[in-house]
Amino acid sequence: MAVPNDRGANKSMIERRSIDYIPDGERHGRLFSQFTLWLGANLQITAIVTGALAVVLGGDVFWSLIGLLLGQLLGGGVMALHAAQGPKLGLPQMISSRVQFGVYGAVIPLVLVCLMYIGFSASGSLLAGQALAQLLHVQDWQGIVIFAGLIVVATIFGYRAIHAIGRVASVIGVIAFIYLFGALLEGNDVGALLDNKHFSLSSFLLAISLSASWQIAFGPYVADYSRYLPRSISAVKTFWAVGLGSIIGAQASMVFGVFAAALAGKQFAHHEVSFIVSLGGTGVVAALLYFSVAFGKVTITTLNAYGSFMSIATIVSGFRGNRHISSGLRLTYIFAMVGVATLLALLGKDSFLKDFSAFILFLLAFFTPWSAINLVDFYCVTKERYDIPALSNPDGRYGRWNWIGISVYVFGVLIQMPFISTHFYTGPLVEPLGDTDISWIIGLVVPAVAYYLIAKKWHSAIPDRLILPVDNDTAEGMPSDLRSQAALN
């Protein structure tokens, strides 16, 4: 059995662990906290803008809403399957990729994940900075810098603080959205917008892609925030708690974004925050709404900053051979990633909508194959039987480079290229399909099937059970036979 640890009683808000395994004695938390974290992370301005893109880029209101919901369900299911790995493994999400890619090979998706974190952090900092600037009566760039400082502080505190922020953000987000929806319904003829239907397959699939990519993009770090849950918690319950929180929050935000964009027309671009707040009123009410916008971005941007720190630490530790990250190095990683995202937000604020839409759609080409490989391996090939100590050993069970996983991943990325449609790259098969982008469907299904068939035949030796590391602090002085038993259970 896993060895208990009385340090679980330590309620310090500053997290001391990073990418290392969370022993049973330090596990804590409830499923409701998972629900509120992901509800709060999605009830925010960037999700509103993502939903608005379905209309801004040519769709009608009715079919955009249907398409967005379908994408939430598909992408949210993939995302929640990753979340369910957290309590079982007690590890950050991306370090488990060493099973499929090798200890060194996992750097390939990790680098791309870091780019994703930077992109989302930059977009979030821009929108939150606009809100803070309005609230504090300063320039936009000053609002962005102030917001970046808040994110650094929250990220330093880590896991407990992030969940606490998520609980507060979910309450503020629900109140703000109820108020804004009420103002929207009271002052505008929403029924007329819904009645104006003109189905377009390409616009419909675009809406599905927008919300599916939004959800799938959480996959590389969702288990980071469920890894402290007790191992006894059901994977099915974790799936539903995380999935429902994320889907409900994102769909509510995107529905509002669709209506806001349809009503605003050309006024929406470059004035996303101010237009949305103007729907709710002026004076004190507007100030409260600006605060809710800024606070809503704290949760998700902190998730991105924390995830970027974990990913950089995982990359470095793979080559250094250990998972211990000093507090000084942790600070360096956090400042570096937040700094780069802030710089991009300052430089790219004038073309946000166009660049952001291309960014989130192009992300699918790199993360759907990774999700497919990781999930198929965990649930269908190894069937949750990982050797966690071997994840830090390049000479161990998983080796330096796993060419099966790497080859299927590269194949999964390349096979999508003919089907991708963005403003900076359009594949040759997009036009014959009616200008429809189906790349993410190809990238999810084909690598999943290919990896399953190949890995079932040539996968490295799979342990007969989940092998957990010994908690060195509590195992010190324990007889060797008991330490071995603790590691196997």
- In the chain, domain spans: 30-352
User: Given CA atoms 100, 104, 109, 113 in this order, what sign does their dihedral have?
Assistant: positive
The predicted model gives 337-344 an average pLDDT of: 84
Query: Would you state the structure tokens that stand for residue 349, as one six-digit string?
Result: 């604020």
The predicted model gives 379-394 an average pLDDT of: 90
pTM of the model: 0.82
| Distance in angstroms (rounded) separating the CA atoms of residues 36 and 63 | 29
Residue position matching structure tokens 């710089």 = 343
Question: pLDDT per residue over 111-146, tens digit each?
Answer: 888 887 787 788 778 878 877 888 888 888 888 888
Q: Is 153 exposed, middle or buried (0-12, 13-18, 19+ CB in 10 A)?
A: exposed
The predicted model gives 262-286 an average pLDDT of: 71
CA atoms within 13 A on the CB side of 7: 14
Query: Would you state the structure tokens that stand for residue 309, as one six-digit string?
Result: 């720190």
> What pLDDT is attached to residue 12?
58
- Name the most confidently modeled range: 37-46, 242-251, 269-278, 417-426: 242-251
> What pLDDT is attached to residue 154?
83
> What pLDDT is attached to residue 349?
63
Tell me which amino acid residue 45 is. I
Residue 245 has pLDDT above 60, yes or no: yes
Residue 259 has pLDDT above 70, yes or no: yes
Determine what percent of the chain is predicted with pLDDT higher than 70.
85
Quick one: pLDDT band at residue 412, thresholds 50, 70, 90? very high
> What pLDDT is attached to residue 433?
73
Quick one: pLDDT band at residue 4, thresholds 50, 70, 90? very low
| Distance in angstroms (rounded) separating the CA atoms of residues 260 and 278 | 11
Determine what percent of the chain is predicted with pLDDT higher than 90.
24
Number of H helices, E strands in the chain: 19, 0
Q: What is the DSSP string of 260-299?
A: HHHHHGGGSTT-HHHHHHHHH-SHHHHHHHHHHHHHHHHH
Domain 30-352 coded CATH 3.40.640.10:
no
